[in-house]
Amino acid sequence: MAESFESEVRKLGIFSAMEESHFDGLMRAAYVQNFPPHVELITEGDISDFLHIVLVGTVELFSTWNNRETSLAMVRPVSTFILAATIRDAPYLMSARTLEKSRIALIPSQDVRRAFGEDAAFARAIVDELANCYRAVVKNTKDLKLRTSLERLANYLLREQRRQAGAPQFDLPFEKRRLASFLGMTPENLSRAFKGLRPYGVVVDGSCMTITDQADLEGFAKPSPLIDNHRT
């Protein structure tokens, strides 16, 4: 792995405090690979061979059942994904695919588990990361179960606006059909929901979103730090 990528990986919370010798051992066995868009990286049900780290691009986590498919999360740089399967040596509960040209670092799962058992700081960081993942799942479940489709869309737009520096105009990071799946909606329901947000100051032009009345949209959405703030 190139030193520039090692530096990016080292900054991640789970690696930042581990002993240098253990980190170097992981990096010696790791490698970086470029993937074109729409490549399936892992398949649910398979055993975890590698811990994946998104260095460049976007990866979608999704699941299928009975000829149905749903989008569960979008992973952006620099982030690991499906850490729990790696630590437990268990089957993946989700599949993953690239949404755009992406650069992925792969660390053998057996090496990660070995370091987990030998490096106390690394183990504590992994527990903290898994706790954050659990809390994110709880927040997403609350979003889906407590809010109407219109409220889910409104709060998603507010979260995405904050992620893009708070500008009143911003672009959706992926196609609307994927957004619909992520929000637990059909594309048709998503289209109706966008129209339903017009009175609250949401103007849609393709993938470009413009919020013309911030206070009105926030008043309708009622964002909650116990659902929408991923840092709590």
The structure tokens 């129209």 sit at 195
Contact 57, 98 (CB under 8 A): yes
Q: Residue ranges of the chain with pLDDT lower than 50?
A: none
Predicted local distance difference test score (pLDDT) of residue 14: 96
- Rounded to an integer, what distance in angstroms lies between the CA atom of residue 98 and that of residue 142? 27
Question: CA angle 44-45-46, nearest 5°?
Answer: 95
**Edge-first strand listing for the sheet containing 50-56:** 31-35, 102-108, 50-56, 79-81
Contact 55, 78 (CB under 8 A): yes
Predicted local distance difference test score (pLDDT) of residue 231: 83
Backbone conformation region of residue 222, classed left if phi is above 0, alpha if psi is from -120 to 50, else beta: left
Predicted local distance difference test score (pLDDT) of residue 230: 82
SS3 label, residue 42: strand
The whole model's pTM is what?
0.89
Predicted local distance difference test score (pLDDT) of residue 173: 92
Question: CA angle 231-4-40, nearest 5°?
Answer: 65
The residues near 105 (Cβ < 8 Å, ≥ 6 apart) are 1, 5, 9, 30, 31, 32, 52, 53, 55
- Rounded to an integer, what distance in angstroms lies between the CA atom of residue 77 and that of residue 97? 14
Task: Indicate the length of the chain as a whole number.
Answer: 232
- Rounded to an integer, what distance in angstroms lies between the CA atom of residue 211 and that of residue 217? 8
The structure tokens 């190139």 sit at 2
Predicted local distance difference test score (pLDDT) of residue 38: 96
Tell me: the pLDDT tens digits for 187-232?
A: 999 999 999 999 999 999 999 999 999 999 999 999 999 999 988 8
Predicted local distance difference test score (pLDDT) of residue 232: 85
